[in-house]
Structure 1
Amino acid sequence: MSKITKIEIQKRNKNRVNVYIDEEFSFACDMELVYKFGLNKDSVINMDELREVLKEEEYISCKNSALRVLEKTYKTEKEIVKKLKDKEYSEEAISRTLEFLTKYDFINDNRYASMFARDKVKTQGKNNIKYKLIQKGVSEDIIMDVLGSLSDDDEYDTALNLCTKKYNILLKSNSDKNVVKQKLFRFMLSKGYDYNLCNKIVKKVLNIDIWE
């Protein structure tokens, strides 16, 4: 049986300790685990107990890593999982972390998608928003609900504004109506607006000009 021969508080982080077993450094862990598992100098520890401590230490590290990410910017579940996998946390630690984050509402794909869509609709169409949310791992049901809640009038007004600005820029270097029309149409499609809306907006913008 192995024995804990020393537990020392880390100099740079008073919330963590270094644990020595049989006079040799064995592992570092959160101070919380010292109390949770009753770790004391001269106490005997077997391999099963050691594995449990290390498993719990990994979970705490994984959870704290996720919380640090979420302090900076909101993320979807898929994005958080990717970041944790990149740090090579175990599936069990990641699963427990997701359970914690969901329980305390740190991650919520529905809320994220709604916030994301309301922000992006100011500069792009629903097709682009849908594609980006799919990439972020948001479910199709959530995406459709969120896109359905967006105002068609707001999307139309934004599209008209973008198209008008692009039109004024194109006029400075193009005098051919067909060339301008094609470039405007491609531009609006690239912004994620559907074909019918692009056609409607481009026609309206061109009709404003003396060409009509």
Structure 2
Amino acid sequence: MLVTEILPVDKRRSKVIFDEDFTLVLYRGDLKRFKIEEGQLFSEESYQELLHEVLFKRARERVLFLLKASDKTEQELIRKLKDGAYPKEAIDYAIGFLKEHRFINDEDYGRRYVEYNSRRKSEKQIRYELQRKGLDKEVIRDILEEQPVDEEAQIKAYIRKKCPSLEEMDRKERSKVIAALARKGFSYEAVSRILGGIYDDD
């Protein structure tokens, strides 16, 4: 590989750009140790040495640090490593290490997420957020079948908080409530149904 450019990122790190748009972020000590210089070739042998002796360990430490800070899915960790300019080999190694030692499990993450959010978020919102975090649609569906979201209770609680008396709510206020709940992912049908009978059980 040809080193086409070396650009400083901060006082300690530099972005090393190789031909074919391949980029690494390395410390100045790495550049010196592996004799990485602008305009020079970087051999495959040296690259493998850099991977196994430096980047694999660094990527592993990075994901362990991220998990210590907060629970994350596999896809979220991969995005974080990509943002840090780790190469695919180092990302695969770090994720493989986490799976081998059972530090990550997306299904378990999804169950915990639903359990925590099922009383304050709509099913639609939970589905969207879990998909954005990288969970498979079928996995999300199975989790929600196991742990249904009580949307009716959430809608009732929101309406009672915003409007203590339905009798005093005019059409404009009703529309505002429906729009607010719709933005949270609740369906118009569910909200309208509950607005019609919210105090029937009082």
- The structure-2 alpha-carbon separation of the partners of 1:140 and 1:48, relative to structure 1 and needing over 3 Å to count, comes to closer
Superposed, which structure 2 residues align to 1:81-100 within 5 Å?
81-100=78-97
**TM-score (normalised: structure 2):** 0.71
Give the Cα separation in 1 of the matches to 2:194 and 2:126.
19
Work out which of the residue numbers 132, 136, 148 in structure 2 matches 1:139.
136
Is structure 2 residue 55 aligned with structure 1 residue 63? Answer: no
- The structure-2 alpha-carbon separation of the partners of 1:191 and 1:137, relative to structure 1 and needing over 3 Å to count, comes to same
Is structure 2 residue 115 aligned with structure 1 residue 118? Answer: yes
Give the Cα separation in 1 of the matches to 2:79 and 2:64.
14
Give the Cα separation in 2 of the matches to 1:147 and 1:208.
27
Work out which of the residue numbers 158, 177, 186 in structure 2 matches 1:193.
186
SS at match of 1:131: helix
SS at match of 1:112: helix
In the comparison of the two structures, how many residue pairs are matched?
166
Shift of 1:101: 1.0
Q: Is the 8 A contact 1:109 1:138 kept in 2?
A: yes
Runs (5+) with no aligned partner, structure 2: 1-28, 35-42
Structure number with bigger Rg: 1
Q: Is the 8 A contact 1:113 1:143 kept in 2?
A: yes
Superposed, which structure 2 residues align to 1:8-157 within 5 Å?
25-26=32-33, 50-56=46-52, 57-151=54-148, 154-157=150-153
Structure 2 residue identity aligned to 1:52: Q
Give the Cα separation in 1 of the matches to 2:159 and 2:169.
17
Give the Cα separation in 2 of the matches to 1:208 and 1:166.
19
**TM-score (normalised: structure 1):** 0.68
Match of residue 166 from structure 1: 162
Moved more, 199-208 or 66-75: 199-208
Root-mean-square deviation (Å): 2.9
Give the Cα separation in 2 of the matches to 1:206 and 1:186.
21
